């Protein structure tokens, strides 16, 4: 007998209840379907991976995430969520992966196979061809990518994901600010030819990493409005084409370089683009929000660029999800302040990551160390405190004290207390972490001043420490490589 609707509906009720939250997310996720975020692990006291996924990515309807490295905790937390994952291969692994197919196969087995259903891309290297990296990885870049590709084929995964190589925009040269004058740098001719052929042979997109803030710092003659997608009275003219924003000009600069190299139709992914909120002049939450909002709105209009009208990058990854207090500051102190969220998962400003007009959800249930701070003891002789200040900053994160930073105005000796406290928190509030030759003082009174926050670190006693896991992985792969020699 065919069941009646009356009896059928109660049996479906539990399933419908499970589906309702997912259905509610669909319109917002679709609106930002090409967007994703970068998730890095260069933090002394990171949130647990499950907190990031369940507390930030899913509640804010983030459809895609690019991992800086193959974190087992992050991949496990992302498994089965429906979030599309790009797994990063750090530059430290390029040499062993390029030198040994066995090492590449082991990396794929350990980091991809068990999570294959959610992985869409393997990103080999980070900001390849960046000037500050020199040519140390140049000879390994494509070989490592090729070995990863072979490993995916052997694992029968090559039809589920693609291998890409994220490249710095410094790979192509432009003698002016005009996209039509761009070309790949001649010193990389051999490597770029190999890379483009590899990508084309496997129908993989070209991944470019954009740094609008660095560009703005270097090009003093271009208005901030150009970077923030705001109307300009004098757009940049390139022949008959006019550019009114940095993003379109950057994409078309790459399009021109690809065209000149014979790959005019190659798809493009923007692997990194963002704006910092601290650590430099013009690095503020308000300006970062203007940039991010302008970018997201621009992408949602789907207008494309003058050279590729109505064509968007395949994906665009915002940089970045969280602040990272151990990120390299070779380019500037602002590098540690790109997070849309603070280190502890609190939104700095509003941007549509997929959740629409709703406010961003903050990370719930964050466990902090006790409410204690380390400050300079003003009752002591502080005439020689400079050496202690320098020692603290050499091991802690003092980037907020940089010119234009949120703590740049607190003066002396407040900046010493800031440095002492950051060192103290990074060392899990140990008594030795607030010694400084007897000049440190532990207090339970919050010494924060206006926008200069003296933070309390996250309690990571139950969380995994990603940098240690990454180092162990490097050592294992190196052993695997050199055991074959």
Residues annotated as part of the active site: 127
Residue position matching structure tokens 């690019």: 66
Residue 215 phi/psi, 5-degree rounding, is -60, -45
Lookup: tokens for 277:
């909120």
- Could you write out the DSSP letters of every residue in 365-400? SPPBPPS-EEEE-TTS--TTHHHHHHHHHHHS--GG
Pure H helices in 204-338: 212-218, 224-227, 246-260, 285-300
Task: Please state, in angstroms and rounded to a whole number, the distance separating the CA atoms of residues 404 and 130.
Answer: 26
- Check if the beta carbon of residue 308 is closer than 8 Å to that of residue 253: no
The distance from CA 238 to its chain's CA centroid, rounded to whole angstroms, is 31
Could you tell me which residues come within 8 angstroms of residue 418 by beta carbon, excluding any fewer than 6 positions away? Answer: 398, 400, 401, 407, 410, 452, 454
Query: Which secondary-structure segment (H or E) carries 79?
Result: none
- Could you write out the DSSP letters of every residue in 148-195? HHHHHHHTT-TTT-EEE-EEEGGGEEESSS-GGGEEE-GGGHHHHHHH
**Contacts made by residues 355-364, CB under 8 angstroms, sequence distance 24+:** 355/28, 355/59, 355/60, 355/61, 356/27, 356/28, 356/31, 356/61, 358/28, 360/60, 361/55, 361/56, 361/59, 361/60, 362/55, 362/56, 363/47, 363/51, 363/52, 363/55, 363/56, 364/51, 364/55
Nearest to 320 by CA among 80, 62, 90: 62
Task: Please state, in angstroms and rounded to a whole number, the distance separating the CA atoms of residues 203 and 199.
Answer: 6
Lookup: tokens for 220:
């003093």
Task: Please state, in angstroms and rounded to a whole number, the distance separating the CA atoms of residues 263 and 9.
Answer: 55
The distance from CA 64 to its chain's CA centroid, rounded to whole angstroms, is 12
- Could you write out the DSSP letters of every residue in 410-478? S-TTHHHHHHHHHHHHHTTT-GGGG-TTTTEEEESS---BTTB-----B--TTS--HHHHHHHHHHHHH
Lookup: tokens for 182:
């761009």
Task: Please state, in angstroms and rounded to a whole number, the distance separating the CA atoms of residues 455 and 448.
Answer: 8
Nearest to 304 by CA among 357, 354, 255: 255
Angle (nearest 5°) at CA 162 between 132 and 192? 40
């Amino acid at each position: 007998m065919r069941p009646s609707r009356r009896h059928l509906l109660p049996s479906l009720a539990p399933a419908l209840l499970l589906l309702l939250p997912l259905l509610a997310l669909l319109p917002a996720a679709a609106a930002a379907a090409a967007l994703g975020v970068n998730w890095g692990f260069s933090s002394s006291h990171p949130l647990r991976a499950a907190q990031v996924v369940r507390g930030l990515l899913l509640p804010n309807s983030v459809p895609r995430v690019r991992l800086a490295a193959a974190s087992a905790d992050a991949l496990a937390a992302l498994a089965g969520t429906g979030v599309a994952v790009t797994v990063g291969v750090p530059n430290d692994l390029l040499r062993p992966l390029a030198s040994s197919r066995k090492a590449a196969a082991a990396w794929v087995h350990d980091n991809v196979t068990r999570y294959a259903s959610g992985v869409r891309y393997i990103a080999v290297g980070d900001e390849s061809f960046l000037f500050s990296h020199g040519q140390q990885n140049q000879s390994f870049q494509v070989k490592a990518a090729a070995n990863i590709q072979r490993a995916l084929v052997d694992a029968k995964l090559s039809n589920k994901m693609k291998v890409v190589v994220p490249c710095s925009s410094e790979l192509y040269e432009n003698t002016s600010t005009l996209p039509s004058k761009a070309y790949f740098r001649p010193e990389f001719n051999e490597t770029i030819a190999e890379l483009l052929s590899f990508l084309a042979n496997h129908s993989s997109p070209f991944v470019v990493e954009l740094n609008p803030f660095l560009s703005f710092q270097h090009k003093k003659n271009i208005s901030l409005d150009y970077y923030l997608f705001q109307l300009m009275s004098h757009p940049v003219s390139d022949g008959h084409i006019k550019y009114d924003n940095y993003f379109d000009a950057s994409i078309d600069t790459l399009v021109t370089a690809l065209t000149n190299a014979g790959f005019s139709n190659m798809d493009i992914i923007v692997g990194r683009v963002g704006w910092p909120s601290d650590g430099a002049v013009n690095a503020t939450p308000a300006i970062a929000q203007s940039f991010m909002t302008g970018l997201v709105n621009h992408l949602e209009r789907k207008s494309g660029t003058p050279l590729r009208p109505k064509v968007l990058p395949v994906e665009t990854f915002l940089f970045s999800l969280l602040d990272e207090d151990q990120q390299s500051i070779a380019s500037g102190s602002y590098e540690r302040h790109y997070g849309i969220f603070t280190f502890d998962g609190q939104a700095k400003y509003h941007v549509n990551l997929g959740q629409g007009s709703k406010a961003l959800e903050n990370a719930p249930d964050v466990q902090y160390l006790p409410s204690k701070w380390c400050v300079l003891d003003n009752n002591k002789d502080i005439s020689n405190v400079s050496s202690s200040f320098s020692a603290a900053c050499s091991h802690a994160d003092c980037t907020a004290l940089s010119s234009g930073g949120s703590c740049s105005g607190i003066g002396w000796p407040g900046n010493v207390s800031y440095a002492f406290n950051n060192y103290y928190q990074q060392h899990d509030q140990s008594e030795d972490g607030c010694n400084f030759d007897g000049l440190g003082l532990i207090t339970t009174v919050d010494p924060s001043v206006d926008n200069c926050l003296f933070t309390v670190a996250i309690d990571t006693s139950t969380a995994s420490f990603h940098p240690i896991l990454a180092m162990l992985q490097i050592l294992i792969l190196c052993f695997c490589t050199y055991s074959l020699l």
